Structures are given as C-alpha cells and as structure tokens.
Chain A
Amino acid sequence: MGSEIQRSETTLRVNGKPHTLLLDHRRVLLDVLREDLGLTGAKKGCDHGQCGACTVLADGRRVNSCLLLAVALDGSEITTIEGLSADGEGPHPLQRAFLDRDAFQCGYCTPGQICSAVGALAEAAAGHPSQVTDPAAPAGRPVALDRTEIRERLSGNLCRCGAYPRIVEAVEDVIP
C-alpha cells in the first residue's frame, strides 16, 4: 500500500455554482463545504450522523453531510443554508420564521434545523410517511403536518439549548 494521499477530481454544484476540486477520497461533503469552499453554515456537531447539525440538501433531499464521501457525490447538486434563498431575495421564509419565533439560542444547530425542515416539508408533500403517520393513511398522498409529525420528522436534529418548541412553531408558520 502506498502512503500517498489518493485523490480524484470531483465536480459538485453548490448553491447553483459548479466547483471542480481535486479531492482527498477521505474528505466528506461537510469538510468540502467548510474547508474548501468556505461555507461554514453546515456545522460539525458530531461528525457521525448523530446530531443533524451538518444537514444540507443533496439533489433536493436532506442528508447528513458528515457521512457522505464527497468523491461519491460527483455531479450532485448541493444546497446549503447559505444558498436557501437566491442572492438579493432576503432570507428564506423559514429563516424569517426562525427569527420571528426566536427558534434558536446558540445558533449552532440552526442551519441544520432549517435545512432539515426544508427537506422534511418536501418529503411530506411527496407523501413520505413518518413513524407517527397513521399506517392506514393512503400511500402516495401528501401528509398533513401537525406538531407530532413535525417533531418526529425533525428528530434527527438535536438542539441542546432546548429551542424545540419554538422550532416547531416556526415550521408551522411556513406550512401553506
């Protein structure tokens, strides 16, 4: 086995902009964002998929960016907290709702909570059930999100400051 670092050229579209990078195979998406692209909105809370602070959207789905080897994502479209709203548009409605509801304190889990909620809303609209969805509910239809549903669906995002009740209110605020 050689001791050289093995790398591959990898292209990611991040917040609409293509980036082609020669990446150490060991590098996970989270570290690409934070170290290579200067996008530190996605946070490193546990680095093992156990806290959700690193949540971003990959090809529209919420994922833990700490567990995704970037090289395997070649060609993917990534959206981070920095790219949720287009330039000049002001904050995304969910970001605004988090401010209105004081849905955070230290702010470290916040980008992950927001990206996760964006993903969760899309999943519910696409008919994805959760653990608390009535198993008898018809498959393939949008799932209405009450507080129990929101809580279950956001349970992959820990908040140590205990802003949970406010986060749920903020998510409710943007449900059409």
Chain B
Amino acid sequence: MARTAALGAPAERREGLEKVTGTARYAAEHPLPGRVHARAVPACVARGRITGMDTGPARAVPGVLTVLTHENAPRLAEPEDATLALLQDSEVPHRGWCVALVVAETPEAARAAAAAVRITYDTADHDVVLTPGHPSTHEPEEANGGQPTRCRRGDPESAFAAAPVRVDVTYRTPPLHNHPMEPHASTAHWDRGRLTVHTSSQGTGDVRRVLAGLFALPVDRITVRAEHVGGGFGSKGSPRPDVVLAAMAARYTGRPVTLAYPRRHLPTVVGHRAPTLSRLRLGATADGRLTALLHDVTTHTSPVRSFVEVAGTTSGVMYATPNLSFVHHVVPLDVPSPSWMRAPGEATGMYALESAMDELAGELGMDPVELRIRNEPDREPAGGLPFSSRHLVECLREGARRFGWPRGARRAEGPLLIGTGVAAATYPVMVSPCTATAEARPDGTYLIRVNASDIGTGARTVLAQIAADALGTPLDRVRTEIGDSDLPEAPVAGGSSGTASWGWAVHEACARLLDRLAGHTGPLPERGIGVRADTSGRADAGSTHARHAFGAHFAEVAVDTVTGEVRVRRLLGVYAAGHILNSRTARSQFVGGMTMGLGMALTEGSTVDAAFGDFAEADLASYHIPVHADVPDIEAHWIDEDDPYLNPMGSKGIGEIGVVGTPAAIGNAVHHATGARLRTLPLTPDRVLTALTER
C-alpha cells in the first residue's frame, strides 16, 4: 500500500498546547449556568438491604437541593449492565454500592450532606475471598468479550504426565485498579426534553445508547461529549454510574449537574482487574520442545454483573505444542464488579505463562530467549490458522541485541542483587465497524468527522495523519472532529482497536472523497463536498488469519537485601505491531504500558477486605501507582511489519501490549537476581524480604 510522509511521522499532538497551558476542558469543567454538584453516598455494609433512610439531616444542610434514594429517584428502564440500575431498589450487593445521591449548590454542601444521610441496613453474610477450590467455582458459559472459556488440543494431561521435563506452578495476581488521573465525572443537563452530557468516557456512542435505554429516549435527543478524557485504561470503556446519576439528578432538579467521583469512591464502583489464580503445567522434551501446555485460570466476579477475566487465552497463541489446554473458572463473590483494565486477561495470563516459561528454562538449563525461539509455532496453536504476521522471534533477537543478552550471572553490588529477565508479550488484533465522513472545503482544507475518543492516545492526531495520507495532502490541511456522539458513529477506544477501527473508516471516507473530487469540475460549492464511509461487514468480517501483535520485554532489577525493595534499573520493549502510524505518540503508549506493567509487578495491588467486603486500598496514598522515582529510562522499539490482512493502514493495536510482558520480565529478573521465585504479585518488600530469608 502507498504511504505518504504523514503516516508514521512523529506529528505533535493537536490538543497539546491546550493540555500544557491548562485550557483543555474535562468532563467536570463545564460550568453551565446554574450548575450544581452531586455526590453519591456509598453503602457501608458488605451485603444486605436498606431498611430505613433518614435524609432529613442531609436535606437540612444549607445549599442542598435534594437527596435521591431508591424511594424517590426517577425510575430507569432495566439496563443491560446491572451496575447501572442505580437507586432502583433497596438491595445492597456489595460495600460501596450507591445508596443515595445528594445534589447541592456547592461541592462542600454536597459533601457535608452526603455524610449526613442516615441509613439502616438489614445485613447479610458476605463472602469475598477468592480461594482455590471455592465451593462456588464453576466454568462460565463465556469469558470477557464472548470469548470461549476453554480450548483443548491433543491429550494435554497425558502428555504432561509423560513429559521428561515438567513445571507445575500456580501464580497469583491481586485485584488491580485503573485509577486514571481524572476520576470518573459527568456533567449533565436537560433542555426541553434533550439531554446533553459531558462525560469522561472512552466511547460516547455507547454512553448515548445506554442513556437512551435507561431514560427511554430516542438517541437523537441525547448528545454525549468527551472532548478531553483524563485517562481510562478500560474503566471508562462503558458508562459508569457517574453519568447515569448526573443525568438522573439533572432531570430531577431541572439544573445542570456535575458528578465528579471522589477518588475514594472509584475502587468499588468503576471496576477493577479481577484477581487470578493461574495454574500452569508445562511439559517439555529435554531439548526444550513443549509437549504439553495447560493453563487453568480461576478468577472472581460479582453478583451484579458477570465479568470473567480471560487470562488463559493467550496461552493458546504463544508456543507450538501438540497438546494444549486452557480453561477458565469463576467464583461469584459479594465483591464490587470487576471490569476491563488495560489488557484484561492478557496482562494477568501472560504474567503466569511467561513466568512459568522462565521456570521451565531453568529446569532445562536453557537460555529463556532460546526456549521461546525453539517453540515458535508456524500456526496459531489454539485456532490452527496461519498468522497474518508474527515477528516474536525478531523482537526477542532485537531486544536481546539492544539490551545485552545472553545475560551473565547475577551479581551483587554491596547489599544489592542485580538480575535481568525476559518475557514475551502478545495482544490480539481487534477491529470494529465504524462510520466517518470526509469533506473537502473550498479553501483547500478537509474536515474529518468521526466519533473517536482521545483518552490520551493522540487519536485526533493520528486520524489526521491517516486522512492526510489517504488524501495526499499536507497534515495541516486536515481538521478532525471527535469526541461527540452527534458525529458519525464509532466504536469505543478499547481493546487497542480504536485507531484501526476509526482509521479504517477515515481512510475509506477519504478514498471516496478523492473519487468524488476526481469527478467534480469547477470550484467546490461553498458548503464543500462530503462523503460518508461505513466499514460494517468488512471490519467485522472474520479473517483467514490469526492476527496478533507480539513483543519482547527485558528488565534489569536491583533487589535490596536489607529491605526487600526492588527497583527497576532498565526496561526495554521491542514490538511487532504492524505499521506504526505516529512514532512519537506510539512510543509514549508503549512506554506508558510498560510503566503500568512495572506497577503491576512491584507496587500495585488491592486487598479484598474479608471482614468488610471492599478493598483496603481506597486512595492514592495506599494504592501505589508508581511515582517518578520508581520509573527508570524506558526504551521502546519496534519492528515495522507489512501485514496485508489488517486494515488499510496496516496497523495493529499498541495501547495495551506494553503492560502484557512487563510484569513477568521483572519477576523473572527478580528470580535471576535472588534465586527466589515469587509467584504472587506485587513483589513488595514484605514478600521479597520473606523470600530472601527463606531462600
């Protein structure tokens, strides 16, 4: 395919100046005249039923407009996603569930009144702890995204039993929280039966569709905007309670309402990465060829909405083996509802697989890079299809060259133990149907309209590049409008599929526009010439090929034997993710993913509180997102792929793969440094020091 200078260029973010000067407006920053503030009241029992509600003291707080409860809140149609059935009944499925909503003139009054709502409950026993062999364990009908829960090739159990070299290990990952820097927030206002919402969302089209259902409105009476979104990482991938509550409160009070969730409310209401127990059984010949790979996953879900973290599926993508099995089990518990978090399933599952591969390399006395190369498959092991492109081996070799591999023996610097580790990564190629319009203006500029979302990826910029490339015009002639549900319909920014989905439609609209313009004579009409494209039927068509991005991660760590503290000294990723469309923003996404992976490896974890039913870490002082001092120089490189089976740009998703291999690379480096194998994340000082002592 022909490419101009625009695609792949390191174009600067189009909204950059607004962001660095503080003028970019986010969802809570639309001070409409008369705008008031809503604050949710979370349930403070782990399970039960509301038996009494005294809102008198709250309503008496100066500045309070109203207090909504299940007794007086507007009725909603039954949602697909039951976490949005808010204030509709007296049931409390988990601690933190919204049981009342205060609306007040100021944030201070709303906060004071929320604290003044008096509620009595009839409490019920709760069960929130995920344990192996929990009596409620079962195999669900499907996992996240409708994916199959199991796969079986050959006779994996027998092959494992007969394998000369075996690894049989279980890895644990804790609940994790997305915690985007902008807490979920929405500003809603009703005007003569029309609802307008500014929300912090990865996809305003879905928000509009869900609100239409809940409020029984035609979609054309709703506009949902998300001009700037302060991160999401999955937790803003579907409408969350803030937008429903804001719309409810705005309808009830007749005033524009902002609901900006306090940080402490997020852990229980916007989703989390579910904890996983992954049992990996790897059987191999003495020369390191896999003969059996079995990955058994157990995770939890909530009683409100079933979500199954699909952690085993990538084990069917990575390595050649005649005998393969993965299976998912889920335990419904009285926990807050899990949901998407960056690489949901891939991050947790690949941590387990890639750690187990490191253990197998150890058993074999083989270099872990070599072990992976030796098991390179020629077709996708689970599905049997040929790969559209796969350059994992090249990523491993390039990474090894740049990082300095084969590694030497571990070394000590005084009390520090220094080690290195490697892990592979993969992420599926996903793409959804999308519509877009392209218009040529008489002044020689072009306008691209598509309801894409920029959650920090640089969507405006890369879509302009795609358009400029397709139109053969300089980048500065192209304007893009995104982040508004009145624009041509587009899918969510999720599954690392945004750019592929939106870009395909943009590319097609531009190609059509060129055709139209070729047939046009004379000057353009004042209102320009526009065309529309819709990729339905093609973007969602099945493929003859297995399509995945791949990568290799290398990490160097220093483990302090005095404290058990682990610091990452170097982190390097090499990716094969199709054609990279903007080298500047792509690098930032890869590095960002690796940083989140570093957090998953070392600092992040939420503890389910068995006694109280929620998470012990409710704020950013206790949920440890890595800080500057945790993050070293991080290198991201890529191997540009020419893959004709993807989309007109030849791109694969890049937003999530960075988080996939990083935790295992760091964990493997800790093992190399210390000789201790820790199989539970995160690798915090308590665990590492204990392991060093027991070593």
Contacts and interface: CB of A to CB of B under 8 A. Distances in A.
A165 B106 contact: no
A98 B596 contact: no
Interface stretch (B1-9, B225-233, B431-439, B517-525): B225-233
Contacts of B456: 104-107, 161
A102 interface: yes
A80 B179 CA distance: 24
Contact of A154 (B16, B181, B228, B628): B628
Interface string B8-36: 00001101111111111110110100000
Interface in B205-226: none
B378 interface: no
Nearest to B13: A102
A20 interface: no
A162 B595 contact: yes
Interface in B571-602: 584-585, 587-589, 591-596
Interface stretch (B279-287, B366-374, B619-627, B676-684): B619-627
Nearest to B627: A155
A161 B591 CA distance: 9
A173 interface: no
Interface stretch (B60-68, B243-251, B478-486, B536-544): B60-68
Given A99-B16, A165-B634, A167-B628, A108 B588 contact: no
Given A46-B620, A167-B628, A160 B180 contact: yes
A35 B107 contact: yes
A50 B626 CA distance: 12
Nearest to A49: B621
Interface in A153-176: 154-168
Contacts of B13: 99, 102
Most buried by A among B19, B181, B629: B181
A152 B632 CA distance: 11
Contact of A51 (B28, B181, B592): B181
5 contacts: A40-B29, A43-B182, A50-B621, A102-B587, A107-B230
A151 B628 contact: yes
Contacts of A160: 178-181, 231, 233, 596, 625
A158 B627 contact: yes
Contacts of A165: 591, 631-634
Contacts of B591: 162-163, 165-166
B16 A106 contact: no
A95 B181 contact: no
Nearest to B621: A50
B627 A26 contact: no
B492 to A, nearest CB: 16
Contacts of B231: 105-106, 108, 160-161
Interface in B28-68: 28-29, 31, 60-63
Nearest to A3: B62
Nearest to B35: A35
Interface in A38-64: 38-48, 50-51, 53
Contacts of B628: 150-152, 154-155, 157, 159, 164, 167-168
B578 to A, nearest CB: 20
By Cβ-Cβ distance, the 10 closest A-B pairs, closest first, are A41-B22, A162-B595, A108-B230, A106-B456, A107-B19, A162-B592, A105-B456, A81-B22, A50-B620, A155-B627
A38 B33 CA distance: 12
Interface residues of B, number: 67
Interface in B544-577: none
A151 B17 contact: no
Contacts of A84: 21
B365 interface: no
A109 interface: yes
Contacts of A24: 106, 108
A111 interface: yes
Contacts of B31: 35, 38
B594 A105 contact: no
A27 interface: yes
A101 to B, nearest CB: 9
A91 B62 contact: no
Given A42-B22, A45-B183, A107-B24, A152 B263 contact: no
Contacts of B179: 160
Nearest to A82: B22
B194 to A, nearest CB: 25
B457 interface: yes
A5 interface: yes
A114 interface: yes
Interface of B: 12-13, 15-26, 28-29, 31, 60-63, 106-109, 112, 178-183, 228-231, 233, 260, 262-263, 455-458, 584-585, 587-589, 591-596, 619-621, 625-629, 631-634
Given A156-B627, A165-B632, 17 more contacts: A5-B109, A24-B106, A31-B107, A34-B29, A38-B31, A41-B21, A50-B263, A82-B22, A84-B21, A91-B21, A98-B20, A111-B20, A157-B627, A160-B180, A162-B591, A165-B634, A168-B628
A65 interface: no
B21 A164 contact: no
B633 to A, nearest CB: 6
Dominant SS at the A interface?
Answer: loop
A151 B626 CA distance: 11
A40 B592 contact: no
A48 B18 CA distance: 26
B331 to A, nearest CB: 29
A35 B106 contact: yes
B347 to A, nearest CB: 14
A157 to B, nearest CB: 7
Contacts of A104: 16, 19-20, 456
A41 to B, nearest CB: 2
Given A24-B106, A106-B231, A111-B22, A44 B457 contact: no
Interface string A134-153: 00000000000001001110
A150 B620 CA distance: 21
B619 A50 contact: yes
Contacts of A48: 263, 619-621
A148 to B, nearest CB: 8
A86 B63 CA distance: 38
Contacts of A168: 628
B26 A108 contact: yes
Given A44-B28, A91-B20, A108 B181 contact: yes
A124 B26 CA distance: 33
A162 B593 contact: yes
B620 A158 contact: yes
A108 B182 contact: yes
Contacts of B20: 81, 91, 95, 98-99, 104, 107, 110-111, 114
Contacts of B22: 39-42, 80-82, 111
Nearest to B25: A40
Given A45-B182, A51-B620, A154-B628, A164 B23 contact: no
A26 B115 CA distance: 15
Contacts of B458: 105
Contacts of A43: 26, 181-182, 230
B12 A99 contact: yes
A24 B109 CA distance: 10
A172 B106 CA distance: 41
A44 B592 contact: no
B256 to A, nearest CB: 14
A102 B182 contact: no
Given A40-B22, A82-B23, A105 B63 contact: no
Contact of B631 (A27, A42, A53, A151): A151
